[in-house]
Amino acid sequence: MALEARTISIPRVLADAPSYRLKQAEDGLFSLTKKSWEEVGVLPKPLRDALTASVPWMSVKLFHVATSAKGDTHKAILELGDGTKIESVLMANKRGWWTICVSSQVGCAMRCTFCATGKMGLTRNLLADEIVDQYRYWASYVHARPEMPQLISNIVFMGMGEPLANYIEVRNANNTILAHTEMGPTNITVSTVGVLPRLEQLLNDPEWPPVRVAVSLHSAIAKTRKEIVPTSYDDFLPKLEEWTHKYFEKFDTRSRHLTFEYVMLGGVNDTTEHAKALAAFVQRCGKVKVNLIPYNFTDSEFLRSTDAHIRSFMDALEAGGVIVTQRKTMGDDIAAACGQLIVEKKESPTV
């Protein structure tokens, strides 16, 4: 049986019930104290039974969870209804709460040479429910551990997959989360390799929520970008530049920051020449921030730029008038850092 999205199946099951029942049912899914339709006591028993019979309460199931030595990062391998697996990460953030890093696809088709997920290829897109349920999984995880901070304040689409290659489901998931949690759109960041047609689409899509966007640039020199991000369009850089202008024309930059992510690969994209090209590109694009990501080891041959090198690269960018930050590496001891998300085949289920 093909899976049916909850946004369709719940209204179908409740078709003959008064309309307020729909809201009660949807709110029930986000209640931290409930673990099944049976527990949504505000609904009459026949409706609870009907929902139990045809709408799965949860679309992801825990397969394995690991916690970093520092306790600031938790990585879950979650199993989906068809037996495929994804990874999802809970990370302490500097606000003192949690950021979750969600997957948008099983695997990824983009083949970025430095990324572990890129090596898996794409198995399938996630459904919006499977994205939303990563949030629900972590929300109940922290709820069950009162010693942990209780709030998930941010979501980043930086797990497995390319979110803009799964545009509709990612959009629906975001809209559901925004409708049912305290989270605001600027607390959510969708990170993309730069799927240009979809970037264009979101500019004019009234249903695309005003979440933040991060573009994985990785090089402002076309030849280098093509080498490390093989799906890069030949004219990606000028097209992205044009797009950033449209983005800033359309949106208030204070609430919808645009970021370029840049993984620091020793000797590949971290030279003075690259810093100059990046500073010049950012200047042409406008108020884009740059976030440098120290390379996390995967089984590729890249080297992590040294800390001193990252520092001087930052200095060169700052001298060129660029606002630049460096991402803190978290969870690398449990392979939960950026680009390390790949479901290990040898992993055994936890009991």
Contacting positions for ligand SAH (CB under 6 A): 112, 114-115, 158, 162, 191-193, 216, 261, 263, 293, 295-296, 298, 338-339
Q: Pairing relation of β-strands 212-216 and 188-192?
A: parallel
Complex with ligand SAH: residue 139 or 293, whichever CB lies closer: 293
Q: Residue 31 corresponds to which tokens in the numbers above?
A: 């209640």
Q: How far is the CB of 159 from ligand SAH (least distance, A)?
A: 7
Residue 291 has φ and ψ, to the nearest 5°, of -120, 115
Q: Residue 98 corresponds to which tokens in the numbers above?
A: 């949690």
Complex with ligand SAH: residue 293 or 330, whichever CB lies closer: 293
Q: How far is the CB of 182 from ligand SAH (least distance, A)?
A: 25
Query: Do 273 and 221 form a contact (C-beta atoms < 8 A)?
Result: yes
Q: How far is the CB of 337 from ligand SAH (least distance, A)?
A: 7
Query: Do 79 and 60 form a contact (C-beta atoms < 8 A)?
Result: yes
C-alpha to C-alpha distances, 333 to 99, 110, 159, 226, 291, nearest whole angstrom: 18, 25, 17, 30, 22
Catalytic residue among 87, 130, 162, 169: 87
Q: How far is the CB of 162 from ligand SAH (least distance, A)?
A: 4
* Closest alpha carbon to 291 in 268, 243, 336, 257: 257
Complex with ligand SAH: residue 73 or 192, whichever CB lies closer: 192
Complex with ligand SAH: residue 39 or 333, whichever CB lies closer: 333
Complex with ligand SAH: residue 133 or 261, whichever CB lies closer: 261
Angle ∠(111,114,118) on CA atoms, nearest 5: 30
Mark whether 338 is an active-site residue: yes
Complex with ligand SAH: residue 331 or 339, whichever CB lies closer: 339
- Distance, CA of 6 to CA of 12 (rounded, Å): 9
Residue 100 has φ and ψ, to the nearest 5°, of -105, 145
- Distance, CA of 210 to CA of 82 (rounded, Å): 32
Helices H, strands E: what count in the chain? 10, 12
Q: Residue 1 corresponds to which tokens in the numbers above?
A: 């049986």
- Distance, CA of 222 to CA of 225 (rounded, Å): 5
Q: How far is the CB of 329 from ligand SAH (least distance, A)?
A: 8
Q: Which residue is nearest to ligand SAH (CB)?
A: 339
22-37: b or e for each residue (b if 16 or more CB lie within 10 Å)? Answer: eebbbebbbeeebeeb
Mark whether 115 is an active-site residue: no
Q: How far is the CB of 338 from ligand SAH (least distance, A)?
A: 3
Catalytic residue among 38, 285, 338, 344: 338
Q: Pairing relation of β-strands 98-101 and 122-125?
A: unpaired
Complex with ligand SAH: residue 216 or 244, whichever CB lies closer: 216
Q: How far is the CB of 246 from ligand SAH (least distance, A)?
A: 20
- Distance, CA of 209 to CA of 215 (rounded, Å): 17
Active centre residues (catalytic)? 87, 338
